[in-house]
Structure 1
Amino acid sequence: MTFQPYLEAISKQIQHTAYGEEPAELYEPIRYIMSLGGKRLRPLLTVLSANLFINDWQKALKPAIAVEVFHNFTLMHDDIMDCAPLRRGKPTVHEKWNANTAILSGDVMLVNAYELLLDVAPAQLPRVIRRFNRTAAEVCEGQQLDMNFEKRADVSQEEYIGMIRLKTSVLLGFAMELGGMIAGADEATTQLLYDAGVNMGLGFQLKDDLLDVYGDPEKFGKQVGGDIIANKKTFMLIEALLLAEGKTKDDLNNWLSLEQGTYDTSDKVAAVTEIYTQLGLDTLAQTMADAYFSKGFEALENLPLPVERKKPLIEFAEFLVGRES
């Protein structure tokens, strides 16, 4: 894989990043969640985007890690809100320690993200900070919308796409835009990078929704069926509520009405998954994801650069399309 050397450099940078030492209860959870791995796709998108324009892409490493630290900060807090037991196949921070520790450690991670962004050249720093601030606020807006949707039965597909754009996609867009800004690319070019990241992010989240239902537990790293158990308004649930009729609709509404603890979760996951399959929603979700990935590739193709220069970034984008975890 042509992007492997960049991934190795990112992993090494993460290993050597210091967050603080005392009190240990504050900083150990940060080291723990950052050590759990993951695809590191956000920092990888940053360094690969910088590499489009400059050979010394290493100057993008610390800012790229800032994006990863911020992303993990949001995961730490999201896991508390979702009562999630697992993250990347391991206990979540609030399960391993407690919710208060996870909240406070997450706060320090946000501070650390700003510290790492200070490695950006002074001439570019104000623009980078403004764009990061806007993106961070949008991620929080997306999370709030996601929680709002849990209490609504009338969420539209358009609203859902708008929510995942904020919660997930804008950070991928910023990650790519950041690489371009560090490399000194003009605004038209960084806008193309942002557009590519946002569309790939939409495809990525739709694929994630699909894997949450149909993924291999050994590869997925999270609790398969977690969205079904929590009645989360995913693309497939929204479509199922629109398309289901007769007994299928009654069965779906019955499962949605049951309180957690009053049923076997594996039974609910199996039943709702079967409804999705009967309605063809696995195919529909994959088609939607592919459409957004295609828009992302189109933006990359429009970058005024030699194909060979774009090869590592395009190869990584192709990896995202075919992922199973």
Structure 2
Amino acid sequence: MTEKSLAHALLIKLEDHITSHSFGESPLELYDPISYIMSLGGKRIRPLLSLLAYGLYSKNPEEILNQACAVEVFHNFTLMHDDIMDQAPLRRGKATVHEKWNANTAILSGDVMLVRAYDLLLGTAPSLLPEVLRLFNKTAVEVCEGQQFDMNFENRETVHEAEYLNMIQLKTAVLLGHALQLGAILAGAEKEDGQRLYDFGVNIGVGFQLKDDLLDVFADQAKFGKQVGGDIISNKKTFLLIKALELAEEKDADDLNYWLSQREFDKTEKVNAVRTLYEKLGIKSLTESKMEYYFKTGFEQLEAIHFTSQEYYNALQSLTQDLIHREK
């Protein structure tokens, strides 16, 4: 079986497991939104990482489908609540839960999803359950911390590079690391390997977010799948904007601040003007260098693990490389 066919076969099993799982039946107004957001798809990267990490050390990753899906349910719970906070109208091209129903329903349904995530972890062997719950709780708190930092940054004039990198590590990357570490723990891997896989996931996760920042500005519109320059239009404090504000001087600084201060503007004009400033300041290459640093650091951690299945190791590498080189 090739690396891609192995990951694809696991993905099919994940989808079947998620589709067949009942989160509850009555009242429908509570449970329909859960089924809805879970049916919107997505790449299912996090549970897939858990299954691949498990397969590095033990056979039959299907045995931990519940635990892998717990990570995905938790992830979608955070998306449901984040969409309310961001007042986002769309999620994966479809109406968000609070738009399709209402905010109160989305809050309550999200709360149930968190509880159901714990339910899915309860089949873990008693000897491993305390550690699994402790690490899950730690990760869940960190994701919330990252979201709060992100909201704090909206109202701050200055955000430093280190603060931003810490925020995206908490909000996005730690859950990728946890997904890998969870699979390793459940497979009985050595603690050091579990930690290396966690560090691999965190570094790769930070790199992925920097890639997203970069694609939002410099992607090919035909391939990107959404409006290029959305972060520029909304003045979102991404790595690119933070570095531009740090490096711009005199007229460049004046021009950048002009566009940041405008409340009414032509979107295309603003995107083109700010992108031109980024290019002049070398922001694209700076972002690529930072991104590559995190990817390189992550793969150094992966290369240091001791595994028993070359097939699963190759599949994990292939999946990660595909994500690194994506164009949307």
TM bin (shorter chain): over 0.9
Larger mean Cα displacement after TM superposition, 305-314 or 70-79: 305-314
Match status 1:82 vs 2:89: no
* Contact map agreement 2:52 2:312 (CA 8 A) in 1: no
Match of 1:276 in 2: 278
- Aligned pair partner of 2:49 in 31, 45, 52: 45
C-alpha distance in 1 between matches for 2:29 and 2:262:
38
Which amino acid in 2 is paired with 1:115? Answer: D
Task: Rate the CA distance shift 1:227–1:305 in 2: closer, same or farther, 3 A.
Answer: same
Rounded Cα–Cα distance in structure 2 between residues aligned with 1:226 and 1:109 = 30
Q: How far apart, CA to CA, are the structure 2 residues paired with 1:286 and 1:142?
A: 23
Q: Is 2:203–2:295's contact at 8 Å kept on the other side of the alignment? A: yes
- Cα distance in 2 between the residues matched to 1:139 and 1:116: 19
Q: Quick one: which of 199, 203, 210 aligns to 1:206?
A: 210
Ranges in structure 2 where 5+ consecutive residues have no aligned partner: none
What fraction of aligned residue pairs are identical, expressed as a percent? 59
TM-score by length of 1: 0.93
Q: What SS is found at the alignment partner of 2:59?
A: coil
Query: In the alignment, is residue 322 of structure 1 matched against residue 325 of structure 2?
Result: yes
Q: Which residue of 1 aligns with 2:17?
A: 13
Please give the residue correspondences for 1:187-226 in structure 2 after superposition, counting only pairs within 5 Å. Answer: 187-216=191-220, 220=224, 224-226=228-230
- In structure 1, the partner of 2:292 is 290
The superposition leaves residues 126-152 of structure 1 with CA deviations (integer Å, 9 ceiling, x where unpaired) of 100000001000000011111111122
Which residue of structure 2 lines up, in the alignment, with residue 232 of structure 1? 236
Aligned to 1:213, what secondary structure does the other structure show? helix
How many aligned positions are there?
323
User: 2:139 corresponds to which residue?
Assistant: 135
Superposition deviation, residue 4 in structure 1 = 1.2
TM-align CA RMSD: 1.8
- Aligned twin of 2:62: 58
For residues 135 and 285 of structure 2, the distance between their equivalents in structure 1, rounded to whole angstroms, comes to 36
**Residue 151 of structure 2 corresponds to which residue in structure 1?**
147
Q: What residue ranges of structure 1 are gaps of 5+ in the alignment?
A: none
Contact 2:245 2:253 (8 Å CA) reproduced: yes
CA shift, 1:291, in A, is: 1.6
Tell me by how many angstroms 1:221 deviates.
5.1
Relative to structure 1, the CA distance from residue 97 to residue 263 in structure 2 (aligned partners, 3 Å threshold; closer, same or farther) is: farther
Contact in 2 for aligned 1:48/1:313 (Cα 8 Å):
yes
Question: Is the 8 Å Cα contact of residues 213 and 239 (structure 2) preserved in structure 1?
Answer: yes
Q: Is the 8 A contact 1:290 1:321 kept in 2?
A: no
After superposition, the C-alpha distances for 1:201-236 in whole angstroms (9 at most, x for unaligned) are 111111111222233566545554332233221100
Distance in 2, Cα, partners of 1:264 & 1:31: 39
Q: Look up the SS of the partner of 1:55 in the other structure.
A: coil
Q: Partner amino acid for 1:322? A: H
C-alpha offsets along residues 6-29 of structure 1, whole Å, 9 cap, x if unaligned? 111111111112111222222222
Contact between 1:173 and 1:193, CA under 8 Å: does it hold in 2? yes
The C-alpha deviation readout for 1:63-95, integer Å capped at 9, x for no partner, is 111101111111111122222222222222222
Match of 1:249 in 2: 253
**Could you tell me how far 1:181 is from its partner in structure 2?**
0.8
- Give the secondary-structure state (helix, strand or coil) at the position aligned to 2:188: coil
Matched, 1:164 2:174: no
> Could you tell me which amino acid in structure 1 is paired with residue 324 of structure 2?
V
The whole-number CA distance in structure 1 between the counterparts of 2:132 and 2:295 is 26
SS in 2 for 1:3: helix
**Structure 2 CA distance for partners of 1:182 and 1:220, relative to 1, 3 Å:** farther
Pair 1:263-2:265 in alignment: yes
